Amino acid sequence: MTMAPTRSHTERPPRTAETPDDPELSAPDAEAPEAVPDRAGPTDTPRAGLRGVRTWRPSARLLWVLAALLVAAAVAVTATAGRATWQQQRDEDARAAALAAGRQIAVNFVTMSASTFDADTKRVLDEATGTFAKEYASTLAQLKPVVTANKTVSTVERAEAALVSGDQDSAKVIVGVVAPTSNASTPKPEKKTYRLRLDLVKVGDAWKVSTLDFVS
């Protein structure tokens, strides 16, 4: 009796399309690198074109020159600001001096007494210049007999001054004066009010009046 051959347990099964030829390829590769996601934008590639290019660095001498220039600029700015401040302070001092001089000249002009006429008028002449000096001097010969005969006495009780304008060489000042005045016919002093406008000019180190007018 003929027996059909039986398949051995060790016989390999037939290959199928899903069975790879190489058994090593059937197992997952644990060593395979992970997939790198596609990043937007350019990749970071070596800068092959910059090889051999030196980065510029300023020399110590150049740094000293730059520092010196910066210091010089700072000094120039400080000097300019300091000069402007000095000039402003100088102008303020000049205006203050002119205001004080105008007030005092107005007081001296109004102050007059029959017994001290020459001294009173000389004080005004010493503070006068230009047109006012000439006009005032020309009236003294006629004014003295009138003041002496009437025994006129004029003093100043209060004087207030305001600067209209002014600089280093000239100024305009308004002065209000309250002057008690008496004479032979009015022994009891009567308060008179005057408002004077003075044009002042700098003569040497002193302020002098070149024009004086009574204003309402």
DSSP for 2-49? PPPPPPPTTSPPPP-TTS-SSGGGGS--TTPPPPPP--SS------GG
What tokens were used for 71? 């210091």
What tokens were used for 78? 């400080």
Instruction: Give residue 85's pLDDT.
Output: 76
Instruction: Give residue 191's pLDDT.
Output: 95
Strands (E), the chain: 112-113, 153-154, 158-166, 170-182, 190-203, 206-214
Instruction: Give residue 81's pLDDT.
Output: 64
Which residue, chain included where needed, has tokens 């934008």? 41
pTM of the predicted model as reported, rounded to 2 decimal places: 0.62
**Angle, helices 130-150/117-126, rounded to nearest 10 degrees:** 170
What domains can be seen in the chain, in order of their start residue? 80-214 (3.10.450.540)
Nearest to 110 by CA among 96, 127, 95: 127
- pLDDT 10s per residue in the chain (216 long)? 444 444 444 445 555 444 445 444 444 444 444 544 455 444 444 454 545 556 667 677 777 777 777 777 777 666 666 667 767 788 888 999 999 999 999 999 999 999 999 999 999 999 999 999 999 999 999 999 999 999 999 999 999 999 999 898 999 999 999 999 999 999 999 999 999 999 999 999 999 999 999 997
Instruction: Give residue 61's pLDDT.
Output: 76
